Structure 1
Amino acid sequence: MWDLRDIIMNIGILDIIDIAIVAYVFYKLYMLIKETRAEQLVKGILVLVIATKLSELFQLHVVSWILKNTMTVGVIALLIVFQPELRRALEYIGRTKLIAKSPGGFESEEDRAMAIGEISEAAFSLARQKIGALIVVERETGINEIIQTGTQIDARITRQLLINIFIPNTPLHDGAVAIKNNRIMAAGCFLPLTENKYLNKELGTRHRAGIGITEMSDCISIIVSEESGHVSVASNGKLYRNVTVNYLREVLQKALMNENETKSIFKRKEGKKEGFFRKGRFFK
C-alpha cells in the first residue's frame, strides 16, 4: 500500500505524458480492430495468456509447457492471421496529416462538388432503370492494383459516361469502375470478395465485391442493385443499403475531405447497415 502511494506521489509530468501516449496507442489499436474478426482473435489470445499464468500458479507443468510453446509459435502465426489488420494499421499511419494526400485527388471544392453530383446522379439514374453498377472511389490508399485489372479509360467524370459503361451487353458493363484523381481511370475492374460470412445471404457478388475492396483500402464503393433498384454504399467493410441521393452526396462529401479515418462518414439513422457486431448481437 505504501509502495503504491510512493509511486503515485513520485509521478512527474513526463510519466503522465508517457502513460498518455501508451493509452492513446492502445485506444487506436482497439479502434482498428473493433467490430472485426481480429477483435475475437485478441480475446482468444488473452484467454491463452491467462490460462498460461494459471497453469504456472497451480504448477501444472505439462499444461504450462504446452501453452508456452504454443504462444512462442503463435507469434509467427499472428503475423499471418493479422495480415489485413497490420496492413490497415500501416496504411492508417501513412494517412497522417503530415504526409497524407488529398482524398480523391481533387484540386478544388468545385471539382469535388461536380464529381459528387455526377456520380450520385449516375448511380440513381441506373437505379431507376434497374441496371446493376459498381463504382469505386479512391480516397487516400491507392487502388492502382485494381485499376490495372480493368480497361484503361482516363476520362473526365460525367454521368453520361458512367451510365453508358454499365448498360447491359456492352463490353465494360460487367465489373467495377475505378475513379481516381477526379478521373474515371478504368472500367471492368475485378474486385476481391469479402470474407465476412455474417452478411445477409440475399447479397450477391456485386455487393460482396463492393464490401471486399473497402476491407483492403479506405475507398468508398457505390453499389446499384439490378434486382431491387436500390443504391448501397460501403466503407471500411460496412455496407449501408437503400440510401437516398442526398445521403449518398453527404457520404461522398465527408469521405473526400481530409478527415480522420476513425470518424464515421455515415450518419447514424439513415440507411441499413449490413454485417457488424455490437454488444454480442449481430445486426443485419
Structure 2
Amino acid sequence: MLLQIRGIISTISFLDIIDIVIVAYFLYKLYIMISGTRAVALLKGLVVLLVATLISKWLELNVINWLLQKTMTVVLVALPVVFQPELRRALEHLGRGRFFHNSAQLNAEEKASLFDELGRTVTDLSKNKIGALMVLERETGLNDYIETGIKVDGLVSSEFLINIFIPNTPLHDGAVIIRGNRVQAAGCLLPLSDDRSLNKELGTRHRAAIGISEQTDAVVIVVSEETGIISLARGGRLHRYMDADKLREQLAPLFIAKSTSLSDLFSWRPS
C-alpha cells in the first residue's frame, strides 16, 4: 500500500499541482459566488434528481430511471437560462480589467465629498419620509438603464438630489443613476427582482434596488417612503437600517481604485 502511494506521488509533477490548485480555486470561488443565493436551492434540486436517478438505476426501476434521465437532460439544457444573472455577473467580472475599466474614477477628496453629500441626502430624506432610489455605477456600465430616464448630467449635491425626489415633481418617480460624482439621469426604470424569498413588506423601490444589484455590480441606496428606513442593496442582498455613518463605511471600500492583476479577476463575492 505504501509503495502504491509512493508510486502515485512520484507520477505527480509540479504542473499537475498547479492544475489541481487552479481547479480547486475556481470551484471555491464558484461556491462563494452562489452561497446565500437562490442558486443554492436550484443546485440542491439537481443533486436530488441525480441521486434519485442513480438509485433508480441501481434498483433497476427502468421506467422511473428513463423519466429521470429525460428530466435531467431538460434541466441541463435549461440551466443557462435559470442561472443567467449569475453567469452574466461572473462573465462581466472576468471581463473587468485595464481595457474595460470604468473611466469615471474619483480621487480621495472627490469620493469623500460624494459620500458626505449622499449621507446628508439620505438623512434629510429619511427624516421627512421621502422615498428615494439612487444607483451608484461601479465597473458594469448602466447605459441601458440611463436611456430609460431623463438625462441630467449634474454634479451630485444634497440639495440637487433632494429636489429630484420631492413628491409630485416630474423626476421623483424612478431611480437616479450616479456615475462618478455626477448624476447621469433621473426617473430611470430598473428591473424588479423575482426572488420569492424576499420580505413581503418590501415595495417596488426595494425590489428594483435588489433587481439591479442582482444583474450588475452597482450599489443602490433606498429610502423608504413609508418608514424612512435607509437601505443599501448590493450583490442581490439588502442591508437595512443604515444611517449616514454606516452608509459611508459600506461605500468606502467598494469604490477603492484597484490595479489590474490576476487576483483581481477572482476577488468578487456576494455580500
Matches within 5 A, 1:35-184: 35-95=36-96, 97-99=97-99, 101-102=101-102, 105-184=104-183
In the alignment, which residue of structure 2 is the partner of 1:236? 235
Q: TM-score, normalised by structure 2?
A: 0.89
In the alignment, which residue of structure 2 is the partner of 1:252? 251
Q: Is the 8 A contact 1:118 1:159 kept in 2?
A: yes
Task: Say yes or no: does 1:261 pair with 2:268.
Answer: yes
* Post-superposition CA distance 1:20-68 (Å, at most 9, x none): 1111111111122111111111122122222223333333333332222
Using the TM superposition, give the Cα deviation of residue 3 of structure 1 relative to its aligned residue in structure 2, in angstroms: 5.1
The one-letter amino acid of 1:44's match is G
TM-aligned CA distance change 1:53 to 1:6, over 3 Å: farther
* Post-superposition CA distance 1:4-32 (Å, at most 9, x none): 55323422211111111111111111122
Q: Is the 8 A contact 2:32 2:270 kept in 1?
A: no
Q: Distance in 2 between matches of 1:198 and 1:71?
A: 25
Give the paired residue count: 262
What's the secondary structure of 1:242's corresponding residue?
A: strand
Using the TM superposition, give the Cα deviation of residue 98 of structure 1 relative to its aligned residue in structure 2, in angstroms: 4.8
Using the TM superposition, give the Cα deviation of residue 242 of structure 1 relative to its aligned residue in structure 2, in angstroms: 1.4
Q: Distance in 2 between matches of 1:65 and 1:125?
A: 62
What's the secondary structure of 2:133's corresponding residue?
A: strand
The one-letter amino acid of 1:230's match is I
In the alignment, which residue of structure 1 is the partner of 2:187? 188
Using the TM superposition, give the Cα deviation of residue 221 of structure 1 relative to its aligned residue in structure 2, in angstroms: 0.7
Unaligned runs of 5+ residues in structure 2 are: 259-266
The one-letter amino acid of 1:71's match is M
Q: Distance in 1 between matches of 2:234 and 2:214?
A: 8
TM-aligned CA distance change 1:3 to 1:66, over 3 Å: farther
Q: Is the 8 A contact 2:105 2:257 kept in 1?
A: no
Q: Distance in 2 between matches of 1:168 and 1:74?
A: 46
What's the secondary structure of 1:125's corresponding residue?
A: helix
**Farther-moved stretch of structure 1 (135-144 vs 205-214):** 205-214
Using the TM superposition, give the Cα deviation of residue 243 of structure 1 relative to its aligned residue in structure 2, in angstroms: 0.9
Q: Distance in 2 between matches of 1:227 and 1:72?
A: 47
Name the one with the larger helix percent: 2
The percentage of counterpart residues that share the same residue type is: 50
Q: Is the 8 A contact 2:33 2:270 kept in 1?
A: no
Using the TM superposition, give the Cα deviation of residue 229 of structure 1 relative to its aligned residue in structure 2, in angstroms: 1.9
Using the TM superposition, give the Cα deviation of residue 162 of structure 1 relative to its aligned residue in structure 2, in angstroms: 0.5
Unaligned runs of 5+ residues in structure 1 are: 265-284
The one-letter amino acid of 1:126's match is L
In the alignment, which residue of structure 2 is the partner of 1:207? 206
Q: Distance in 2 between matches of 1:33 and 1:115?
A: 32
Using the TM superposition, give the Cα deviation of residue 200 of structure 1 relative to its aligned residue in structure 2, in angstroms: 2.1
What's the secondary structure of 1:105's corresponding residue?
A: coil
TM-aligned CA distance change 1:8 to 1:60, over 3 Å: farther
* Post-superposition CA distance 1:211-255 (Å, at most 9, x none): 111111111111111222221111111111111211101111112
Q: Distance in 2 between matches of 1:167 and 1:5?
A: 74
Q: Distance in 2 between matches of 1:36 and 1:76?
A: 21
Q: Distance in 2 between matches of 1:155 and 1:262?
A: 32
Q: Is the 8 A contact 1:106 1:112 kept in 2?
A: no
Task: Say yes or no: does 1:11 pair with 2:18.
Answer: no
TM-aligned CA distance change 1:8 to 1:64, over 3 Å: farther
**Relative contact order (C-alpha < 8 Å, sep 6+): which is higher?**
2
Q: TM-score, normalised by structure 1?
A: 0.85
